[in-house]
Amino acid sequence: MQTVIEKIDSSIFKAYDIRGIYPKQINAELVYKITQAYAKLIHPKTVCVGTDMRLCGEEFKQAAIKGLTGAGVNVIDLGLISTDQMYFAVVHLKADGGIMATASHNPKEFGGLKLVREQSRPISGDSGIYEIRDLVISNFQFPISKMKGEVEQKDIRDDYYRHVLKPFNVSKLKPLKIVANANFGMANPAIENIKNLLPIKFVKILNGHLDGSFPKGPSDPLLPSNRPETIAVIKELKPDLGVAWDGDADRCFFFDENGEFVTPAYINALLAEYYLKKNPGAKILHDTRVVRVIDYVVKENGGISATNKAGHSFIKERMISDDIVFGCETSGHYYFKDNFYLDNGLFPFLAVLDILSLSGKPFSEILRPLREKFYISEEINFEYNNPNILEEIKDKYSDAQIDNIDGYDFNYPGWRFNVRLSNTQNLLRVNLEANSKELLQEKTAEVTGLINSVK
């Protein structure tokens, strides 16, 4: 293992996971200490451990195993898996917790960990991450266990794919043509495992092998710079839809048959309707970044709309506490009661396939009523140095109806916007929505102009 980091950078302990630049901010020695602190905090008997294809992943997985077994904890080594497979394994195997070596969609130089308790209940800033941070910084020494934990290797993939397919009537899916972008990540083995179980055809799989160096840049389909390759192939091959996943395959994004990227807020609305038809009167949970389109669809379909602070840990905690059928974020995370209230990257793909099969319409036609009624910006990100930036924006728009569930929501009759500080990066994130294309353009220019003047 590498030399321990002399001064621990506490900023790697985020609101819902741990991420830092490898090996400057996080390395194997620090992972070892983090996992020992994790063991001290939750007192598990058995913990599932896995890694994605990130270059430091296997090193971090082995460090986590050493830290846990040294604390007397038994380990189930899941091997190379996606994040949502780790969540599944913890529940399926009745483990006391889980640790995933991943930095999600962050650039290649990052490494990190996602931590959960029993039932894959999240460990977030509200439920343990900062206690783990404080233990690590205190340089505590875990007492040498009289009984070292044992390591068992287990392959849960077949059980996982059976679980994912179970809620869907696969036999009724139409033979749709798909262009997929796996972004060199864990969607690759997922595609290989499901493509022969579904009556669909992947006409093209882009970036279809594992490569933790991410040779084409960060594995985040939400970045506009990551979309042209997928769009070009869709326009050439004319499939029924396009789909893309991030590196650890727990987020899923879509393109229509014309190659137009589908803003996740529209998918949120479509899936809300889909699950309300299956569960009349149910509660649908979403974040506050973009709300009008999903609130409208939920109301039209007789459901109850609920909002929550963004972040997979916070959303999952609310999903469980309120027994919610479906939850979603504008970031491309989707949560399902059918999946133990946890997020999953294949469920939304299968649900969209079902929606297209049932409707018999092109994807763009299904989306048209929402696109023509609700105008939504891409998320706009700003680097900033002004610690009072949120309050200065609030002062400017003090005449709005203001909510502060997550950052600030500024609501006007014809438009609204949300501003919030990122929980994972030093960024101010802005989302706008309006009743017309012209008003959206006008207010986007106005709000971005203000932020550039005060950031």
Q: 259 is written with which tokens?
A: 């190659």
The CA distance from 38 to 91, in Å, is: 18
Q: Are β-strands 252-255 and 261-262 bridged in parallel, bridged antiparallel, or unpaired? A: antiparallel
DSSP 411: E
Task: Report how far residue 396's alpha carbon sits from residue 409's, in angstroms, rounded to the nearest whole number.
Answer: 13
Strand runs (DSSP E) across 14-103, as ranges? 18-21, 46-51, 74-80, 97-101
Q: Are 209 and 180 in contact (CB under 8 A)?
A: no
Helical spans, DSSP H, in 1-56:
28-42
Q: State the CB neighbour count (10 A cutoff) for residue 52.
A: 27
Q: In the beta sheet, which residues pair with residue 58? A: none
Lookup result for tokens 């084409």: 216
Pick the catalytic residue from 10, 11, 104, 364. 104
Tokens describing residue 191? 């595609």
CB contact at 8 A, 83 and 164: no
Write down the H helix ranges in 93-145: 129-137
Q: Tell me if residue 104 is catalytic.
A: yes
The length of the chain in residues reads 455
User: Distance between CA atoms of 338 and 50, rounded to whole angstroms?
Assistant: 23
DSSP 419: E
Give the active site residues.
104
